């Protein structure tokens, strides 16, 4: 099975907790607060590995978690940061958020990396809260939870030239004849069930990557046959070799049908340069009908070629012509999708929602993060949280909304009882 689409789950490391500690040493009176900060949680990154060409490794493992940061300790010792997790992916991998559908990145360059889940920052120890008026603070923070998300990975093969055509046109035979690739070859349609890549080396200065795309049929752009699964792999190619089956009842009708599917699929496939090639010239009836097919194609202002992939007749001329078309194309970077741009959110913004007669929920980036990081068994930490509610205007907004003593207010995972 060819793995070119997969869903995975990633979880970054949580930040370590800050520490409440005081310096106590002989001959050092009033040593003061000495609680260290927690370490940052590890990130989860996707990294391009040029040795990979499928997403098969994800068939065995789909959950990836980075290490948590270590907790802070006394004597101002900060916790160590959690180790990052680098997940290798093949070049051509497109990354989407599986829940929102947003495009997060398009990985095409060697050693390119994309952070898909950021580790939480470490909580501050009490040494960070010391001021001139509060020289012995008994307050610290929990570490911030790391990001977690579901991702959808799609692979679009990176190749210079792509082979397209109806099933059994001889694409795999041609790939095997001109490269070291060994795709499955058999005398029946849909032999190729997955794209195959091979490197064509013509001389010391001329080489390119050739991709064999599984056979297309009419309706492929609507999901018929195998085409809908693999049409996207043609997007990355710069030149197409359109192989016609010389033994087909009507090769010209096949040619028109496949071009119709490329146009229906969109994404610029129909505009790519094409070399139209009649295959199976080793068969006498194909050689006999070639002049008629050549004339019909030339009437459409197409300069066709005829080869026998099995006998390797005309294949070298075809490859040099493909290399020439490649060389004549303007230099352009690999077509890459651009991530969805969303304006940054106001972290101080919040909303209040009434969930029941005596229950309320507060939503907001900053207040939910602070609620998660507050150490609720420390009185100073609770007072600090209350001051944050006042500063952000949440206390006033709840009172205006009608909150009463004894009501429950939910912020993140915390349940708080409102008191006047």
pLDDT tens-digit profile, the chain (420 residues): 456 788 999 999 999 999 999 988 777 777 789 999 999 999 999 999 988 877 888 888 999 999 999 999 999 999 999 999 999 998 888 899 999 888 898 888 888 999 999 999 999 999 999 988 888 899 999 999 999 999 999 887 777 888 888 887 888 888 888 876 554 444 434 444 456 667 778 887 788 778 777 655 444 444 444 444 556 667 778 888 898 888 888 889 888 888 887 787 776 777 888 899 899 898 999 899 999 999 999 988 888 999 888 888 888 898 899 888 888 887 665 556 667 666 667 889 999 999 988 999 999 999 999 999 999 999 999 999 999 999 999 999 999 999 999 999 999 999 999 887
H-helix or E-strand containing 286?
helix 284-298
pLDDT given at position 225: 40
Burial class (CB in 10 A: 0-12, 13-18, 19+), 217: middle
In this structure, are residues 39 and 83 in contact, taking their beta carbons and an 8 Å threshold? no
For 33, 126, 127, the CA distances from 131, given in Å and listed in that order, are 11, 11, 9
Beta-carbon count within 10 A of 330 CB: 4
Q: Where are the domains of the chain?
A: 1-155, 161-328, 351-417
Query: Hunting for tokens 């607060």 — which residue is that?
Result: 33
Q: What is the pTM of this model?
A: 0.72
What are the strands, taking DSSP E only, across 136-289?
148-155, 161-164, 196-203, 206-212, 239-245, 274-279
209/163 Cα distance (integer angstroms): 11
279/290 Cα distance (integer angstroms): 10
243/251 Cα distance (integer angstroms): 10
In this structure, are residues 186 and 121 in contact, taking their beta carbons and an 8 Å threshold? no
420/411 Cα distance (integer angstroms): 18
Give the CATH class of 161-328: alpha beta
187/173 Cα distance (integer angstroms): 11
pLDDT given at position 180: 63
In this structure, are residues 367 and 350 in contact, taking their beta carbons and an 8 Å threshold? yes
| CATH architecture, domain 1-155 | Distorted Sandwich (2.70)
Beta-carbon count within 10 A of 127 CB: 25
CATH number at 351-417: 3.30.300.350
Report the sign of the C-alpha dihedral through residues 128, 134, 138, 141, in that order.
Answer: negative
122/128 Cα distance (integer angstroms): 12
């Amino acid at each position: 099975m060819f793995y070119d689409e997969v869903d995975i789950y990633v979880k970054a490391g949580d930040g370590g907790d800050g520490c409440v500690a005081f310096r106590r040493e002989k001959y050092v009176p009033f040593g003061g607060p000495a609680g260290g900060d927690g370490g940052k949680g590890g990130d989860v990154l996707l990294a391009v590995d040029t040795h990979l060409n499928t997403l098969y490794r994800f068939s065995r493992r789909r959950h990836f978690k980075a290490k948590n940061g270590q907790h802070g300790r006394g004597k101002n010792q900060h916790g160590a940061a959690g180790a990052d997790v680098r997940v290798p992916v093949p070049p051509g991998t497109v990354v989407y958020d599986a829940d929102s559908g947003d495009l997060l990145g398009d990985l095409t360059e060697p050693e390119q990396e994309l952070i898909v889940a950021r580790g939480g920052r470490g909580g501050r120890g009490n040494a960070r809260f010391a001021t001139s008026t509060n020289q012995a603070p008994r307050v610290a923070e929990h570490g911030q939870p790391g990001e977690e998300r579901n991702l959808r990975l799609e692979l679009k093969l990176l190749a210079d030239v792509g082979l397209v055509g109806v099933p059994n046109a001889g694409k795999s035979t041609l790939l095997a004849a001109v490269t070291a690739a060994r795709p499955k070859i058999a005398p029946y349609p849909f032999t190729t069930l997955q794209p195959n890549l091979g490197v064509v080396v013509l001389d010391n200065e001329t080489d390119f990557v050739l991709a064999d795309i599984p056979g297309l049929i009419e309706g492929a752009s609507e999901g018929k046959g195998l085409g809908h699964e693999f049409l996207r792999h043609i997007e990355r190619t710069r030149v197409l070799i359109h192989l016609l089956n010389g033994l087909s009842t009507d090769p010209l009708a096949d040619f028109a049908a496949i071009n119709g599917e490329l146009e229906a699929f969109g994404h610029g496939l129909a505009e790519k340069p094409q070399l139209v090639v009649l295959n199976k010239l080793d068969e006498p009836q194909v050689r006999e009908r070639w002049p008629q097919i050549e004339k019909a194609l030339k009437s459409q202002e197409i300069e066709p070629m005829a080869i026998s992939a099995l006998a390797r007749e005309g294949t070298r001329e075809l490859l040099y012509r493909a290399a020439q078309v490649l060389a004549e194309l303007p230099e352009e970077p690999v077509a890459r999708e651009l991530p969805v741009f969303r304006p940054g959110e106001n972290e101080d913004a919040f909303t209040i929602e009434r969930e029941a007669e005596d229950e309320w929920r507060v939503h907001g980036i900053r207040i939910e993060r602070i609620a998660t990081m507050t150490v609720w068994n420390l009185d100073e930490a609770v007072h600090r949280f209350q001051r944050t509610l006042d500063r952000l205007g949440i206390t006033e907004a709840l009172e205006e909304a009608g909150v009463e003593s004894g009501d429950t207010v939910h912020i993140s995972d915390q349940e708080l009882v409102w008191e006047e």
